[in-house]
Amino acid sequence: MGEIVDLTDKIKRYFRFTPLEIRSLIIAVLVIAFIISFKEWGYGDVFSFRIGLFNFFNAILIVALSFLVHLSIQRIWSLGTGYRLEWKMWSYGLLFGLIIAFLTNGYVWLILPGGLVVHHMAGHRLGWFRYDINYWAVGLIAATGPFATILLAALFKALSAVVATSLVEKAIAFNIAYAVYSILPIPPLDGSRTFYGSRMLYAFAVAGVAAAAILLSSNLSVGVALIASFFIGVVLWILYYIFFENRAWRYP
């Protein structure tokens, strides 16, 4: 019970986004929303500002919700382990995404908004490794973002069985793509933090996210897709340990 009260207090004191983070998130949301709505400014080859603006607004709602869930889970988890999380926009990633959108007429989404920076709070690390940054903890914090995004995609997938609209389908597609891009081991994305924090954790995370992305895109039910992706992640994690990690730590 004390841990819950402690986490609640940390959330009240440290969860809020800084003005710089808010400005960066607004820019990132607008750019990513433009990318995923790039080919929806009209019917076919006929341009329509009204239709494009409507689709752009819907894309903003999807991206903003996805970013909020992704970052909120990471912030809560980081506070629970005695760290304060700061989100940094990746300007080059957003620019490259825009270039790819123009070159492919919006058919290829490149979602590279930014990554996290973790700050040590020594006074809140009682019961944990108290000194400096623990890279395993940082890797785990980063991995919770893609996991949360996949679960959000699964939630939209379940919703699509009741409310089958193009907006819901786009939310599913975006969250799947966002989770896959996030787990890539490219700095400053979440995957790079997870990879350098723990290769074993990264092996499970990348296998589980990739499997969930494929299965949620199929006609399988949400429950079956999530359970199957978890077991696929575990099996590939074990195989990775047997054929690589176990041998990598052996002395000649």
Q: Please state the separation of Cα 227 from the chain's center in Å.
A: 19
* Largest interatomic CA distance in the chain: 67
pLDDT of residue 80: 84
Query: What is the CB neighbour count within 10 angstroms for residue 43?
Result: 9
Averaged pLDDT score across all residues of the chain: 89
Q: Indicate if the pLDDT at residue 1 is higher than 50.
A: no
Q: Going by DSSP bridges, is the β-strand pair 83-89/46-47 parallel, antiparallel, or unpaired? A: unpaired
Q: Indicate if the pLDDT at residue 128 is higher than 60.
A: no
Residue-wise pLDDT tens digits, 157-204: 999 988 878 899 999 999 999 999 999 999 999 999 999 989 999 999
Average pLDDT over residues 215-221: 91
Residue-wise pLDDT tens digits, 58-114: 999 999 999 999 999 999 999 888 888 999 999 999 999 999 999 999 999 999 999
d(CA 71, CA 139): 14
- Note the pTM of the prediction, 2 decimals: 0.91
Backbone CA torsion sign across 155, 158, 162, 168:
positive
Q: Indicate if the pLDDT at residue 211 is higher than 90.
A: yes
Instruction: Check residues 80 and 251 and name the one with the higher pLDDT.
Output: 80
Average pLDDT over residues 113-136: 74
Instruction: Check residues 86 and 7 and name the one with the higher pLDDT.
Output: 86
> Length of the chain, please?
252
The structural domain count of the chain equals 1
Most confident stretch, 16-30, 35-49, 120-134, 235-249 = 16-30
Angle, vertex CA 166, rays to CA 174 and CA 151, nearest 5: 40
pLDDT of residue 2: 44
Instruction: Check residues 5 and 71 and name the one with the higher pLDDT.
Output: 71
Q: Indicate if the pLDDT at residue 252 is higher than 60.
A: no
Instruction: Check residues 125 and 206 and name the one with the higher pLDDT.
Output: 206
Of all residues in the chain, the percent with pLDDT exceeding 70 is 92
Residue numbers of the domain that contains 145: 2-248
Average pLDDT over residues 22-28: 96
